[in-house]
């Protein structure tokens, strides 16, 4: 009996100890779970500080060089090519013969048209003299004059056709592509492509600038231009066009004309940089990183950190200065702004700063 009581006591003590351990473990696990949940509720972000800096108002904009003239032209009449006088890469002048089309029949037609015209001139001269003496009527003289005028028109057209047998360059430049060879049959409908000519004696650099930058630009202003291919060379350009209307991205297209050097180092399609110099000295401005803005600069919204939480603020943005933006109103020096992680944020979310 005594042994039974001792056994029961031991069992009850063991069960109590086990219950105590399980309860303690549950409490510890709940505490850990609460800590993890609290940590997981925080959004990881990177930050920067609002500060006042001395900044230059100079800026650059990148684009691609385009030829000042580019022309792909086609045959106006049918015929068979007998000679091609140029090859790709050759420089040609406006009016230079590039190819010759078979002209036997055309030349014969031109000779016949010339003979008819000379005969019409002789007839008119004869009728004119006869009219003075009363030998022909006024109507006969008018008919002779009409025949002479028609013959001259036919001769002019025949001479044009002869000229069409010599395909000439409409502009000066380099033969970029040649689409015909001796023996090629030209067609007027649809027109056969002949040559592509590119003039790179001057080029256009097309870039875009934002609204705060475009206000300081004027047509005719001289701009320094660089190329990644020639880092040690600098070219001089002139603004020839400023768009009166912004494009879909709210930027303004600007065209800069550059005179190529004598060796035509710049090629159409190369990457170029326009260096816009401001007339103003450096200014002290309140700035934030451009990527602090939610969405784009035009949204004028920025998250700041207050007491460990994200707060969305409305600000007034000024000029865009490369990767920085001027702040006119809405932020104070020393405030902490969020620069990455905004996509996961809502106003009032807890945040964890990534160092």
Per residue in 277-315, pLDDT (tens digit) is 876 667 788 989 989 999 877 788 999 999 999 999 999
The pair of structure tokens assigned to 161 is 């056709």
- Number of structural domains (the chain) is 3
In-domain check, residue 168: no
Q: What is the mean pLDDT of residues 34-51?
A: 71
The tokens 């020839």 sit on which residue? 240
Q: What is the mean pLDDT of residues 254-259?
A: 95
* pLDDT above 70 (res 2): no
Domain boundary among 276, 292, 310: 276
Domain co-membership, 149 together with 203: no
* pLDDT above 60 (res 30): no
In-domain check, residue 342: yes
Domain co-membership, 286 together with 348: yes
Asked if 265 contacts 230 with a C-beta cutoff of 8 angstroms, the reply is: yes
pLDDT digits (tens, 9 = 90+) for 332-341: 999 999 998 8
Q: What is the mean pLDDT of residues 307-331?
A: 87
Structure-model confidence comparison of residues 205 and 281, the more confident one:
205
Confidence of residue 63 (pLDDT cuts 50, 70, 90): very high
Percent of the chain residues topping a pLDDT of 90: 36
Q: What is the mean pLDDT of residues 104-133?
A: 79
> What are the CA-CA distances from residue 293 to residues 255, 329, 339, 343 (Å)?
29, 14, 8, 11
Confidence of residue 245 (pLDDT cuts 50, 70, 90): very high
Domain co-membership, 349 together with 307: yes
In-domain check, residue 308: yes
* pLDDT above 90 (res 256): yes
Structure-model confidence comparison of residues 280 and 352, the more confident one:
352
User: Looking at residue 37, what is its pLDDT?
Assistant: 42
The pair of structure tokens assigned to 70 is 């580019």
List b or e across 27-57, with b for residues whose CB sees 16 or more CB atoms inside 10 angstroms. Answer: eeeeeeeeeeeeeeeebebebbebeeeebeb
* pLDDT above 90 (res 171): yes
In-domain check, residue 32: no
pLDDT digits (tens, 9 = 90+) for 82-104: 899 999 999 999 999 999 887 65
In-domain check, residue 91: no
pLDDT digits (tens, 9 = 90+) for 136-160: 888 888 888 898 899 888 888 776 6
The answer for residues whose C-beta is within 8 angstroms of residue 261's C-beta and 6 or more apart is 235
Mean pLDDT rounded to a whole number for the chain: 83
Domain boundary among 227, 255, 276: 276
The side-by-side arrangement of strands in the sheet containing 43-49 is 309-314, 301-306, 336-340, 43-49, 351-353
In-domain check, residue 93: no
Domain housing 115: 104-161
Domain co-membership, 263 together with 308: no
Domain co-membership, 267 together with 289: no
Element holding 205 (H helix, E strand): strand 193-209
Domain boundary among 207, 241, 276: 276
pLDDT digits (tens, 9 = 90+) for 175-202: 999 999 999 988 867 889 999 999 999 9
Confidence of residue 254 (pLDDT cuts 50, 70, 90): very high
pTM of the predicted model as reported, rounded to 2 decimal places: 0.56
Q: What is the mean pLDDT of residues 64-85?
A: 89
Structure-model confidence comparison of residues 324 and 176, the more confident one:
176
């Amino acid at each position: 009996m005594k042994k039974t009581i001792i056994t029961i006591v031991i069992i009850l003590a063991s069960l109590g100890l086990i219950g105590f351990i399980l309860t303690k473990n549950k409490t510890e696990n709940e505490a850990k779970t609460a800590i993890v949940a609290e940590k997981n509720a925080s959004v990881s972000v990177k930050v920067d500080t609002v500060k006042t800096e001395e900044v230059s108002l100079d800026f650059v904009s990148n684009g691609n060089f385009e030829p000042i003239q580019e022309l792909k032209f086609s045959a106006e009449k049918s015929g068979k090519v007998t000679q091609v006088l140029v090859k790709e890469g050759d420089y040609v002048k406006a009016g230079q013969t590039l190819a010759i089309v078979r002209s036997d029949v055309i030349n014969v037609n031109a000779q016949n048209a010339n003979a008819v015209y000379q005969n019409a001139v002789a007839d008119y001269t004869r009728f004119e003299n006869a009219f003075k003496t009363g030998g022909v009527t006024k109507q006969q003289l008018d008919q002779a004059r009409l025949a002479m005028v028609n013959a001259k028109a036919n001769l002019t057209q025949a001479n044009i056709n002869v000229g069409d047998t010599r395909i000439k360059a409409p502009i000066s430049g380099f033969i970029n592509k040649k689409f015909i060879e001796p023996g090629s049959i030209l067609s007027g409908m649809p027109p056969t492509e002949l040559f592509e000519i590119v003039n790179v004696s001057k080029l256009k650099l097309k870039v875009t600038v934002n609204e705060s930058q475009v206000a300081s630009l004027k047509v005719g202003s001289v701009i320094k231009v660089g190329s990644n291919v020639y880092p040690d060379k600098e070219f001089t350009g002139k603004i020839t066009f400023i768009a009166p209307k912004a494009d879909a991205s709210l930027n303004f297209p600007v065209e800069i004309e550059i005179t190529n050097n004598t060796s035509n180092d710049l090629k159409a399609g190369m990457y170029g940089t326009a260096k816009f110099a401001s007339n103003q000295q450096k200014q002290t401005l309140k700035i934030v990183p451009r990527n602090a803005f939610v969405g784009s600069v035009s949204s004028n919204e920025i998250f700041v950190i207050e007491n460990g939480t994200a707060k969305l603020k409305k600000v007034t943005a000024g000029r865009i200065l490369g990767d920085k933006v001027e702040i006119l109103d809405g932020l104070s020096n020393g405030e902490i702004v969020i620069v990455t992680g905004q996509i996961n944020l809502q106003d009032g979310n807890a945040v964890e700063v990534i160092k």
